[in-house]
Protein backbone atom coordinates (compact mmCIF):
# COMPACT_ATOMS: atom_id res chain seq x y z
CA UNK A 1 0.00 0.00 0.00
CA UNK A 2 2.82 2.44 0.72
CA UNK A 3 4.03 2.09 -2.89
CA UNK A 4 0.52 2.84 -4.13
CA UNK A 5 0.41 5.93 -1.92
CA UNK A 6 3.85 7.03 -3.16
CA UNK A 7 2.74 6.65 -6.78
CA UNK A 8 -0.46 8.63 -6.22
CA UNK A 9 1.30 11.46 -4.37
CA UNK A 10 4.06 11.63 -6.99
CA UNK A 11 1.56 11.68 -9.87
CA UNK A 12 -0.34 14.51 -8.16
CA UNK A 13 2.95 16.40 -7.66
CA UNK A 14 3.82 16.10 -11.36
CA UNK A 15 0.30 17.17 -12.35
CA UNK A 16 0.57 20.27 -10.13
CA UNK A 17 3.91 21.08 -11.77
CA UNK A 18 2.36 20.85 -15.24
CA UNK A 19 -0.59 23.03 -14.20
CA UNK A 20 1.72 25.64 -12.70
CA UNK A 21 3.81 25.59 -15.86
CA UNK A 22 0.85 26.55 -18.03
CA UNK A 23 -1.44 28.37 -15.59
CA UNK A 24 1.09 29.94 -13.21
CA UNK A 25 1.34 33.32 -14.98
CA UNK A 26 -2.46 33.56 -14.97
CA UNK A 27 -2.81 32.50 -11.34
CA UNK A 28 -0.13 34.87 -10.02
CA UNK A 29 0.21 37.66 -12.64
CA UNK A 30 3.33 39.79 -12.44
CA UNK A 31 3.03 43.53 -12.15
CA UNK A 32 3.22 45.69 -15.24
CA UNK A 33 6.78 45.79 -16.50
CA UNK A 34 8.03 43.42 -13.80
CA UNK A 35 9.58 40.00 -14.29
CA UNK A 36 7.75 36.86 -13.11
CA UNK A 37 8.63 35.49 -9.68
CA UNK A 38 11.79 33.31 -9.76
CA UNK A 39 10.05 30.83 -7.47
CA UNK A 40 7.12 30.55 -9.85
CA UNK A 41 9.51 30.01 -12.77
CA UNK A 42 11.55 27.31 -11.01
CA UNK A 43 8.78 25.48 -9.16
CA UNK A 44 7.12 23.68 -12.14
CA UNK A 45 10.26 21.91 -13.44
CA UNK A 46 11.20 20.93 -9.88
CA UNK A 47 7.74 19.54 -9.16
CA UNK A 48 7.68 17.66 -12.47
CA UNK A 49 11.13 16.17 -11.81
CA UNK A 50 10.19 15.11 -8.26
CA UNK A 51 6.91 13.67 -9.52
CA UNK A 52 8.58 11.71 -12.30
CA UNK A 53 11.12 10.24 -9.89
CA UNK A 54 8.37 9.36 -7.43
CA UNK A 55 6.15 7.59 -9.95
CA UNK A 56 9.10 5.55 -11.24
CA UNK A 57 10.08 4.49 -7.72
CA UNK A 58 6.44 3.78 -6.91
CA UNK A 59 5.97 1.68 -10.04
CA UNK A 60 9.12 -0.33 -9.29
CA UNK A 61 7.97 -0.89 -5.71
CA UNK A 62 4.48 -1.94 -6.84
CA UNK A 63 5.90 -4.40 -9.36
CA UNK A 64 8.35 -5.94 -6.88
CA UNK A 65 5.91 -6.22 -3.99
CA UNK A 66 2.76 -7.26 -5.86
CA UNK A 67 3.98 -9.48 -8.71
CA UNK A 68 4.45 -12.55 -6.53
CA UNK A 69 1.94 -11.60 -3.87
CA UNK A 70 -0.67 -14.25 -3.16
CA UNK A 71 -4.21 -13.43 -4.19
CA UNK A 72 -6.55 -13.49 -1.25
CA UNK A 73 -10.31 -13.78 -1.37
CA UNK A 74 -12.82 -12.60 1.17
CA UNK A 75 -15.86 -14.72 1.94
CA UNK A 76 -18.64 -12.25 2.67
CA UNK A 77 -21.33 -13.36 5.03
CA UNK A 78 -24.38 -11.94 3.28
CA UNK A 79 -25.42 -12.42 -0.32
CA UNK A 80 -25.65 -8.65 -0.73
CA UNK A 81 -22.04 -8.18 0.35
CA UNK A 82 -20.98 -11.07 -1.88
CA UNK A 83 -22.77 -9.55 -4.88
CA UNK A 84 -21.19 -6.16 -4.21
CA UNK A 85 -17.75 -7.79 -3.91
CA UNK A 86 -18.18 -9.57 -7.26
CA UNK A 87 -19.27 -6.33 -8.91
CA UNK A 88 -16.27 -4.46 -7.53
CA UNK A 89 -13.94 -7.24 -8.65
CA UNK A 90 -15.34 -7.12 -12.17
CA UNK A 91 -14.87 -3.37 -12.33
CA UNK A 92 -11.33 -3.73 -11.01
CA UNK A 93 -10.58 -6.43 -13.58
CA UNK A 94 -11.94 -4.21 -16.36
CA UNK A 95 -9.77 -1.34 -15.12
CA UNK A 96 -6.70 -3.61 -15.12
CA UNK A 97 -7.33 -4.87 -18.66
CA UNK A 98 -8.22 -1.45 -20.04
CA UNK A 99 -5.25 0.15 -18.31
CA UNK A 100 -2.85 -2.41 -19.77
CA UNK A 101 -4.21 -1.98 -23.32
CA UNK A 102 -4.04 1.82 -23.17
CA UNK A 103 -0.58 1.81 -21.55
CA UNK A 104 0.79 -0.55 -24.20
CA UNK A 105 -0.74 1.58 -26.97
CA UNK A 106 0.75 4.78 -25.50
CA UNK A 107 4.20 3.23 -25.22
CA UNK A 108 3.98 1.84 -28.76
CA UNK A 109 2.95 5.27 -30.08
CA UNK A 110 5.98 6.90 -28.45
CA UNK A 111 8.33 4.24 -29.85
CA UNK A 112 6.90 4.56 -33.35
CA UNK A 113 7.00 8.36 -33.40
CA UNK A 114 10.33 8.88 -31.65
CA UNK A 115 12.35 5.96 -33.05
CA UNK A 116 10.70 4.42 -36.10
CA UNK A 117 9.33 7.49 -37.88
CA UNK A 118 12.70 9.31 -38.26
CA UNK A 119 14.11 6.20 -39.93
CA UNK A 120 11.11 5.89 -42.26
CA UNK A 121 11.17 9.63 -43.06
CA UNK A 122 14.85 9.46 -44.02
CA UNK A 123 14.08 6.82 -46.65
CA UNK A 124 11.26 8.77 -48.34
CA UNK A 125 11.94 10.28 -51.75
CA UNK A 126 13.68 13.63 -52.03
CA UNK A 127 11.69 16.70 -52.93
CA UNK A 128 11.98 18.31 -56.38
CA UNK A 129 13.23 21.56 -54.83
CA UNK A 130 15.82 20.15 -52.44
CA UNK A 131 18.60 21.52 -54.64
CA UNK A 132 16.73 24.74 -55.41
CA UNK A 133 14.77 25.78 -52.28
CA UNK A 134 13.12 28.90 -53.65
CA UNK A 135 9.52 30.11 -53.43
CA UNK A 136 9.22 29.95 -57.22
CA UNK A 137 10.22 26.29 -57.19
CA UNK A 138 7.83 25.53 -54.33
CA UNK A 139 4.95 27.14 -56.20
CA UNK A 140 5.81 25.17 -59.31
CA UNK A 141 5.22 21.91 -57.41
CA UNK A 142 1.96 22.43 -55.45
CA UNK A 143 1.40 18.68 -55.28
CA UNK A 144 4.51 18.32 -53.10
CA UNK A 145 4.90 21.68 -51.34
CA UNK A 146 1.97 23.38 -49.61
CA UNK A 147 1.97 26.81 -48.03
CA UNK A 148 1.69 26.56 -44.25
CA UNK A 149 -0.62 29.57 -44.06
CA UNK A 150 -1.90 32.47 -46.17
CA UNK A 151 0.99 34.89 -46.61
CA UNK A 152 3.21 32.98 -44.17
CA UNK A 153 5.96 32.39 -46.71
CA UNK A 154 6.53 28.90 -45.31
CA UNK A 155 6.00 25.62 -47.15
CA UNK A 156 5.53 22.08 -45.92
CA UNK A 157 6.52 18.75 -47.42
CA UNK A 158 4.62 15.44 -47.22
CA UNK A 159 7.02 14.27 -44.50
CA UNK A 160 6.49 17.38 -42.38
CA UNK A 161 2.72 17.25 -42.89
CA UNK A 162 2.56 13.65 -41.70
CA UNK A 163 4.71 14.54 -38.72
CA UNK A 164 2.85 17.72 -37.74
CA UNK A 165 -0.73 16.82 -38.60
CA UNK A 166 -0.84 13.13 -37.67
CA UNK A 167 2.08 11.98 -35.55
CA UNK A 168 2.46 15.03 -33.28
CA UNK A 169 -1.14 14.80 -31.97
CA UNK A 170 -0.63 11.07 -31.39
CA UNK A 171 2.58 11.75 -29.47
CA UNK A 172 0.96 14.50 -27.39
CA UNK A 173 -1.91 12.17 -26.47
CA UNK A 174 0.53 9.50 -25.26
CA UNK A 175 1.37 11.41 -22.04
CA UNK A 176 -2.19 11.75 -20.66
CA UNK A 177 -3.04 8.28 -21.99
CA UNK A 178 -0.08 6.72 -20.20
CA UNK A 179 -0.91 8.57 -17.00
CA UNK A 180 -4.58 7.53 -17.16
CA UNK A 181 -3.61 3.91 -17.87
CA UNK A 182 -1.20 3.81 -14.94
CA UNK A 183 -3.84 5.37 -12.68
CA UNK A 184 -6.33 2.70 -13.80
CA UNK A 185 -3.79 0.03 -12.87
CA UNK A 186 -3.28 1.62 -9.45
CA UNK A 187 -7.03 1.71 -8.84
CA UNK A 188 -7.36 -1.93 -9.93
CA UNK A 189 -4.60 -3.00 -7.53
CA UNK A 190 -6.15 -1.03 -4.68
CA UNK A 191 -9.49 -2.72 -5.42
CA UNK A 192 -7.81 -6.19 -5.27
CA UNK A 193 -8.30 -7.17 -8.90
CA UNK A 194 -7.86 -10.77 -9.99
CA UNK A 195 -5.92 -9.46 -13.00
CA UNK A 196 -3.10 -8.36 -10.74
CA UNK A 197 -0.25 -8.82 -13.20
CA UNK A 198 -2.06 -6.97 -15.98
CA UNK A 199 -2.67 -4.11 -13.53
CA UNK A 200 1.02 -4.09 -12.59
CA UNK A 201 2.02 -3.99 -16.26
CA UNK A 202 -0.40 -1.09 -16.79
CA UNK A 203 1.25 0.81 -13.94
CA UNK A 204 4.79 0.04 -15.12
CA UNK A 205 4.27 0.69 -18.85
CA UNK A 206 2.18 3.81 -18.28
CA UNK A 207 4.61 5.15 -15.69
CA UNK A 208 7.69 4.72 -17.83
CA UNK A 209 5.93 6.30 -20.80
CA UNK A 210 4.98 9.30 -18.68
CA UNK A 211 8.39 9.50 -17.01
CA UNK A 212 10.29 9.21 -20.30
CA UNK A 213 8.28 11.96 -21.94
CA UNK A 214 8.48 14.07 -18.79
CA UNK A 215 12.24 13.81 -18.64
CA UNK A 216 12.48 14.64 -22.34
CA UNK A 217 10.36 17.75 -21.74
CA UNK A 218 12.47 18.76 -18.74
CA UNK A 219 15.60 18.45 -20.87
CA UNK A 220 13.90 20.72 -23.42
CA UNK A 221 13.17 23.30 -20.73
CA UNK A 222 16.68 23.13 -19.27
CA UNK A 223 18.19 23.63 -22.72
CA UNK A 224 16.31 26.90 -23.05
CA UNK A 225 13.08 25.80 -24.70
CA UNK A 226 9.90 27.72 -24.04
Q: How far apart are CA 160 and CA 167, in angstroms?
A: 10
Highest averaged pLDDT of the listed ranges 22-26, 79-83, 183-187: 183-187
Say which residue, 69 or 5, is predicted with more confidence: 5
Is the distance from CB of 69 to CB of 197 less than 8 angstroms?
no
Domain assignments of the chain as residue spans, ordered by start? 2-70+79-222
pLDDT tens digits, residue range 88-136?
788 889 999 999 999 999 999 999 888 888 888 777 777 888 888 888 8
Q: How far apart are CA 3 and CA 61, in angstroms?
A: 6
Place 216 in a pLDDT band, splitting at 50, 70 and 90.
Answer: confident
Residue 106 has what pLDDT? 93
pLDDT tens digits, residue range 146-195?
888 776 678 888 888 888 888 888 888 998 899 899 989 988 988 888 88
Q: How far apart are CA 192 and CA 178, in angstroms?
A: 21
Residue 71 has what pLDDT? 43
Residue 72 in this model has a pLDDT that exceeds 50: no
User: Which residue spans within the chain are E strands per DSSP?
Assistant: 146-147, 155-156
Amino acid sequence: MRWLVLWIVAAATAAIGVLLLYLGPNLVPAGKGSAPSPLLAQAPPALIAIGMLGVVLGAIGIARSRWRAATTTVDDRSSGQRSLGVRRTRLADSAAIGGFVVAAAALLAVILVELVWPIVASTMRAGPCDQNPTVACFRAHPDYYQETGPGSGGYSTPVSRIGNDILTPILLSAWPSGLAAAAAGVIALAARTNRRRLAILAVVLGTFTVAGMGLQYLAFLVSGGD
